[in-house]
Structure formats: structure tokens, C-alpha cells
């Protein structure tokens, strides 16, 4: 009896020991997929092998015992999408499902001039608690201006304040920020002059950084705003990117090609200007951006906004803390409820939100043909400008562009969502299917990959995405996150 007991114990011990023995991790072999590599080159059918987090082999590959196989027959294999203007970091869950479920494997945050108070702390927290996708960040001008000037920001900064802001930018550049972002249509950056912006940008440039900007105006003063970003590019000699490029004023509709000639001629003068864009006619922001003169109680300005920049039917109130009953309604519907004209309602809502802050609107200001013309520009890349809730772009921007009839080939569209985006952000090692590059990959049905999110149901997941791989690990399959967190922090 005793001996028998001993034998049993020994065999349990052997089993346990065997389980502890390090088993060699298998390579991942994706077979027979239609590969679109991101460079714009024609698709081809082939296989791809991943070892650890890297792509190690592409072509007609022999299967080895060490391979774990994924069948890619009939599906497109592309690099993961790179979202160069994202607010998905507002997600409290590490899976960041809104992004990965639409094929985004890298998000670039710190946009519109707003970044984390300390990028060093933020990046450290991501090291111990990584996400399912990669993340990189800009340092925000609004954030440093707020920190230095506090509530006394409605003026130009003093020399001392500029020096203090420069130090904060240098600190975050040393922590790995990609460059400087501005949001010149928002407080407090709206009160800065171009010289201040140039001074800040030069600091980022000293660290090899770039400049990305939600420009001072996307409607009334679009042309002047383009002049401003080109001046920043010229005087700092750094690459400059226009965020979520749009022509958001009726008087500008149909002029996308003309605007692009300005950028092309700047490029031929040596200014490295690029842009990103999302494929929707509606934007999402605050009510106040519709008042470029900041005269929120002026009826004339409100009337202009509601006729030239958007319409009462085209404004959907997304968030309104002062009276949440209005959320989900258009401005026209709210005006009808209140039995008054839309201009009066608009002015009243702004007044209410000044007393009880917290508002956001989704408004229609763009022409579809302009969106298509801009998206065909060779130096533009896709972005979502999306968040986990609100505008449907948060869940659908990338597949929506894939399905939009822009006259571009699938190869070109994928290029704009991958390689071109990586280039515009100055990130190498991702965005191309190539040996030695990170295995951030998507497998999707060529006909079936479609966005489903709408303005009424903005968090509906896209369909037709078979697998999402980040750093060689499957992070999304069977329509759900796998709860694997293989995302990396990408630093300048
Ligand atoms: Zn923006």
C-alpha cells in the first residue's frame, strides 16, 4: 500500500515536472492568403510566417512541425491599420475594442493639443499594463499652456511663460513623444499667436519631432489656417500634418482640388506637409467651434453658423450635461420642443453649457465629393478621430473608407491606412508586410468587411474582420477581443 502510494506520488511529480518544462513557442503560419503589403503594390497569394512578434518569412512557404497554422484562403492579409488621430485612449478597457474591431492596431493619441500631464508616467503605466494595440503620443500645446498659464490664458504668453512651456515640451519629447500637437480652435491655444506656436514646435523639432495640428479654423478661416501651418513647416523645417482635413463651410464646397494645389506647391517648395482625414460628412466637437469670433450671444454669428457652416437639422446634440433630455436630438428638434427658432435655441444652449459645462455636438458640414477628392491626395492618410462612444467613426471609420467609392484601388486604400500613415508619423517597423517588420496584421473578407456603426447606433461593431494580430499575437477573432495585451508603446 505504501509502495503503491509512493509510485502514484512519483508519477504526479513527473507529470508536473513535464508541464514545467519550457515548451518551445510555435511559429504562426498564415497560409494561402491574398497579401496586400501596404506599399501600394499589387496583391499576391502567399503565406507568411511569424516568429515571436516579427514577420520572418513571406512567399510560398513549406510547413514545419514548429508551425501553428491559420488558413487565409480567400481572405485579404494586410498590415494592421494605423490611426494617426485617435481618442480611443479614453477607453477604460485594455482591449480598446472600438479600435481593434475595425482593424486598428496602432493609435496615435495626444491630439488637438491635449496630452497626458506626464508622458513618462503614462508610458510607464502602459509598460506594466499594456493594451491590445500599439500606442504613441504627441505632446499637446493646450496641455502645457494650461499648466503654465492656468485660468489667465485669454492673452498672449509672456517670455517667461514661453520658456516654461518649452521646458515641458522638451521633457515629454525626451520621454518619447512623436512631436507637438496643437488644437488652435480650442481654449487655451486659440489665444496663442503663430510665433508662440513656432517657438514650441522648434523644441519638438530639436528632438527630431513632428508637428500635427487641429488648425485654427476649418471653416471661416480655412485658407489662413493653411497658411499658418505652412509657415510653421517653413520656419521650423519639420514635417507638418493637418489633422482631420476638411472643408467645413458651404462656400468652400467643391474647392478641395484647388486647396490641394496650395499644399502641392508648398511641397514643391520643400515644406513636408501631409494630412489625415476621416470618411464622414459629420464632425464631432463643441458647439463653440461654430463661433470663430467667440461671440456666443451674437444672433448674427449664430445665424451664420446655422446657414453657412451647418444646419439646425444637421446638428445632433451628443452630450449636454445642462439638460441630458436633449441628448440624441437635433438642434431643429430641440427648437421645436422649446417652441422657438433654432438661432435662439442655439444661443440658449451655449449659455446653459457655460453654467453647467459638458457638451458635444455632431454636425454635418462637409461635402462627400470633397472628402473623396481629399482622400485621393497621395500624401493623405486615414484617421478615425474616434472615441469609444459618440460619433460612429469610433467604431467604423476604417472599413467605411474601404467601402467608399473613391475611385482608388484596394491596394491604394490600404496603403493610406498603413504605410502612408506610418510614414506621416515617422514610425518605421510597422505598416508594411515585410520580413523584419512587426507582425501587426489583419485577415478579412474582401467583400464582407463593412462598418455597421451609425449616428443612431454608434457603437455597432464592424463585420467581416476575421483576425487581428498585434506583435504576433491574435488580439481579436470570432468577433471578440481575445483579452491578449500585446500592444507596444511606440516612441520617437
Ligand atoms: Zn481635432
Regarding whether 208 and 114 lie in a shared domain, the answer is yes
How remote is the CA of residue 111 from the centroid of ligand 1, in Å? 7
Q: Looking at the domain assignment, is residue 250 inside a domain?
A: yes
Q: Looking at the domain assignment, is residue 382 inside a domain?
A: yes
Q: Looking at the domain assignment, is residue 451 inside a domain?
A: no
How far apart CA 173 and CA 167 sit, in angstroms, is: 10
**Domain end point (choices 428, 455, 476):** 428
Residue-level pLDDT at 25: 84
With 70 as the cut, is the pLDDT of residue 334 above it? yes
Q: Please, which pLDDT band fits residue 13 given cuts at 50, 70 and 90? A: low
Regarding whether 136 and 220 lie in a shared domain, the answer is yes
How remote is the CA of residue 85 from the centroid of ligand 1, in Å? 8
Give 356: exposed, middle or buried? Use CB within 10 Å, 0-12, 13-18, 19+.
exposed
How remote is the CA of residue 218 from the centroid of ligand 1, in Å? 10
Better pLDDT: 5 or 137: 137
Q: How does pLDDT run across 389-409, given as a tens digit for each residue?
A: 999 999 999 999 999 999 999
How remote is the CA of residue 388 from the centroid of ligand 1, in Å? 16
From 376, 353, 428, 373, select the one nearest 136 (Cα to Cα): 428
Task: Count the domains in the chain.
Answer: 2
Distance of CA 425 to the CA centre of its chain: 11
Whether a cis peptide bond, with omega within 30° of 0, leads into 188 is yes
Regarding whether 297 and 275 lie in a shared domain, the answer is no
Give the CA angle between residues 455, 403, 253 to the nearest 5°: 65
**Domain end point (choices 341, 364, 387):** 364
8 A C-beta contact, residue 240 and residue 271: yes
Residue-level pLDDT at 1: 47
| CATH number of the domain that residue 113 is part of | 3.20.20.140
Q: How does pLDDT run across 264-321, given as a tens digit for each residue?
A: 999 999 999 999 999 999 999 999 999 988 999 999 999 999 999 999 999 999 999 9
How remote is the CA of residue 214 from the centroid of ligand 1, in Å? 5
How remote is the CA of residue 25 from the centroid of ligand 1, in Å? 43
Regarding whether 246 and 298 lie in a shared domain, the answer is no
User: What are 68-71's contacts with CB under 8 Å, separation 24+?
Assistant: 68/26, 68/27, 68/28, 68/29, 69/29, 69/30, 69/31, 70/28, 70/29, 70/30, 70/31, 70/443, 70/467, 71/31, 71/32
How remote is the CA of residue 225 from the centroid of ligand 1, in Å? 14
How far apart CA 437 and CA 424 sit, in angstroms, is: 17
Q: Looking at the domain assignment, is residue 202 inside a domain?
A: yes
8 A C-beta contact, residue 151 and residue 188: no
Q: How does pLDDT run across 471-483, given as a tens digit for each residue?
A: 999 999 999 999 9
CA distances from 427 to 232, 281, 423 (A): 21, 29, 6
How remote is the CA of residue 482 from the centroid of ligand 1, in Å? 31
Q: Looking at the domain assignment, is residue 324 inside a domain?
A: yes
How far apart CA 249 and CA 444 sit, in angstroms, is: 37
Q: Looking at the domain assignment, is residue 87 inside a domain?
A: yes
Give a three-class secondary structure readout of the chain: CHHHHHHHHHHHHHHHHHHHCCCCCCEEEEEEEEECCCCCCCCEEEEEEEECCEEEEEECCCCCCCEEEEECCCEEEEECEEECCCCHHHCCCCCCHHHHCCCEEEEEECCCCCCCCCHHHHHHHHHHCCCCCEEEECEEHHHHHHHHHCCCCCCCCCHHHHHHHHHHHHHHHHCCCCEEEEECCCCCHHHCCHHHHHHHHHHHHHCCCEEEEECCCCCCCHHHHHHHHHHHHHHHCCCEEECCCCCCCHHHCCCHHHHHHHHHHHHHCCCCEEEEECCCCEEEECHHHHCCCCCCCCHHHHHHHHHHHCCCCCEEEEEECCCHHHCCCEHHHHHHHHCCCHHHHHHHHHHHHHHCCCEEEEEECCCHHHHHHHHCCCCEEECCCCCCCCCCHHHHHHHHHHHCCCCCCHHHHHHHHCHHHHHHHCCCCCCCCCCCCECCEEEEECCCCECCCCCCCCCCCCECEEEEEECCEEEEECCEECCCCCCCECCC
Report field, pTM of the whole predicted structure over 0.85: yes
Regarding whether 220 and 232 lie in a shared domain, the answer is yes
How remote is the CA of residue 360 from the centroid of ligand 1, in Å? 13
Regarding whether 115 and 184 lie in a shared domain, the answer is yes
Regarding whether 314 and 258 lie in a shared domain, the answer is no
Q: Looking at the domain assignment, is residue 444 inside a domain?
A: no
Regarding whether 122 and 200 lie in a shared domain, the answer is yes
How remote is the CA of residue 474 from the centroid of ligand 1, in Å? 31
Query: Rounded to a whole number, what is the largest CA-CA distance in the chain?
Result: 98
Regarding whether 189 and 335 lie in a shared domain, the answer is no
Q: How does pLDDT run across 199-213, given as a tens digit for each residue?
A: 999 999 999 999 999
- Average pLDDT of the chain is 95
How remote is the CA of residue 244 from the centroid of ligand 1, in Å? 7
With 80 as the cut, is the pLDDT of residue 8 above it? no
**Domain end point (choices 404, 428, 452):** 428
Q: Please, which pLDDT band fits residue 160 given cuts at 50, 70 and 90? A: very high
Regarding whether 339 and 400 lie in a shared domain, the answer is no
Percent of the chain with pLDDT over 90: 94
With 50 as the cut, is the pLDDT of residue 6 above it? yes
How far apart CA 34 and CA 378 sit, in angstroms, is: 24
How remote is the CA of residue 183 from the centroid of ligand 1, in Å? 7
Regarding whether 153 and 90 lie in a shared domain, the answer is yes
In this structure, what C-alpha cell is assigned to residue 98? 472600438
How remote is the CA of residue 430 from the centroid of ligand 1, in Å? 24
How remote is the CA of residue 2 from the centroid of ligand 1, in Å? 75
How remote is the CA of residue 283 from the centroid of ligand 1, in Å? 9
Regarding whether 319 and 182 lie in a shared domain, the answer is no
Phi, then psi, of 394 in degrees rounded to 5? -60, -30
Domain that holds residue 410: 80-281+368-428
Q: Looking at the domain assignment, is residue 315 inside a domain?
A: yes
Residue with grid cell 474582420, as numbered in its chain: 465
How remote is the CA of residue 11 from the centroid of ligand 1, in Å? 64
Amino acid at each position: 500500500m505504501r509502495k503503491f502510494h509512493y509510485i502514484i506520488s512519483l508519477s504526479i511529480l513527473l507529470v508536473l515536472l513535464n508541464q514545467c518544462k519550457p515548451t518551445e513557442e510555435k511559429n504562426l503560419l498564415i497560409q494561402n492568403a491574398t497579401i496586400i503589403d501596404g506599399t501600394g503594390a499589387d496583391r499576391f497569394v502567399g503565406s507568411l510566417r511569424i516568429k515571436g512578434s516579427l514577420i520572418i518569412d513571406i512567399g510560398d512557404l513549406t510547413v514545419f512541425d514548429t508551425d501553428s497554422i491559420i488558413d487565409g484562403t480567400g481572405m485579404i492579409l494586410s498590415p494592421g491599420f494605423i490611426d494617426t488621430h485617435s481618442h480611443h485612449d479614453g477607453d477604460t478597457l485594455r482591449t480598446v475594442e472600438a479600435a481593434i474591431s475595425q482593424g486598428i492596431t496602432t493609435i496615435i493619441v495626444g491630439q488637438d493639443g491635449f496630452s497626458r500631464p506626464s508622458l513618462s508616467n503614462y508610458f510607464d503605466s502602459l509598460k506594466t499594463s499594456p493594451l491590445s494595440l500599439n500606442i504613441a503620443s504627441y505632446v499637446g500645446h493646450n496641455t502645457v499652456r494650461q499648466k503654465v498659464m492656468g485660468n489667465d490664458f485669454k492673452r498672449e504668453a509672456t517670455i517667461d511663460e514661453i520658456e516654461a512651456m518649452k521646458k515641458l515640451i522638451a521633457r515629454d519629447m525626451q520621454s518619447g513623444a512623436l512631436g507637438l500637437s496643437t488644437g488652435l480652435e480650442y481654449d487655451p491655444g486659440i489665444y496663442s499667436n503663430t510665433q508662440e506656436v513656432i517657438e514650441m514646435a522648434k523644441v519638438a523639432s530639436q528632438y527630431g519631432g513632428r508637428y500635427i495640428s487641429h488648425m485654427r479654423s476649418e471653416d471661416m478661416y480655412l485658407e489662413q489656417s493653411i497658411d499658418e501651418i505652412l509657415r510653421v513647416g517653413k520656419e521650423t523645417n519639420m514635417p507638418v500634418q493637418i489633422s482631420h482635413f476638411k472643408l467645413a463651410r458651404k462656400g468652400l464646397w467643391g474647392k478641395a482640388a484647388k486647396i490641394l494645389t496650395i499644399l502641392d506647391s508648398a511641397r514643391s517648395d520643400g515644406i513636408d506637409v501631409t494630412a489625415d482625414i476621416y470618411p464622414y460628412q459629420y464632425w464631432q466637437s463643441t458647439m463653440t467651434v461654430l463661433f470663430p469670433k467667440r461671440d456666443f450671444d451674437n444672433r448674427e454669428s449664430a445665424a451664420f453658423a446655422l446657414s453657412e457652416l451647418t444646419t439646425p437639422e444637421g446638428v445632433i446634440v451628443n452630450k449636454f450635461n445642462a439638460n441630458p433630455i436633449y441628448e440624441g436630438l437635433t438642434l431643429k428638434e430641440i427648437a421645436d420642443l422649446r417652441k422657438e427658432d433654432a438661432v435662439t435655441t442655439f444661443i440658449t444652449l451655449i449659455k446653459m453649457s457655460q453654467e453647467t459645462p459638458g457638451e458635444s455636438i455632431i454636425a454635418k458640414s462637409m461635402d462627400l465629393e470633397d472628402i473623396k477628392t481629399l482622400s485621393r491626395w497621395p500624401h493623405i492618410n486615414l484617421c478615425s478621430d474616434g472615441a469609444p462612444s459618440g460619433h460612429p467613426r469610433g467604431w467604423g471609420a476604417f472599413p467605411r473608407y474601404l467601402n467608399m467609392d473613391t475611385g482608388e484601388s484596394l491596394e491604394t486604400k490600404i496603403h493610406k491606412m498603413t504605410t502612408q500613415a506610418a510614414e506621416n508619423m515617422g514610425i518605421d517597423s510597422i505598416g508594411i508586410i515585410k520580413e523584419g517588420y512587426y507582425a501587426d496584421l489583419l485577415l478579412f473578407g474582401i467583400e464582407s468587411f463593412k462598418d455597421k456603426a451609425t449616428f443612431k447606433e454608434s457603437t455597432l461593431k464592424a463585420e467581416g474582420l476575421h483576425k487581428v494580430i498585434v506583435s504576433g499575437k491574435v488580439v481579436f477573432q470570432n468577433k471578440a477581443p481575445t483579452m491578449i495585451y500585446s500592444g507596444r508603446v511606440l516612441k520617437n
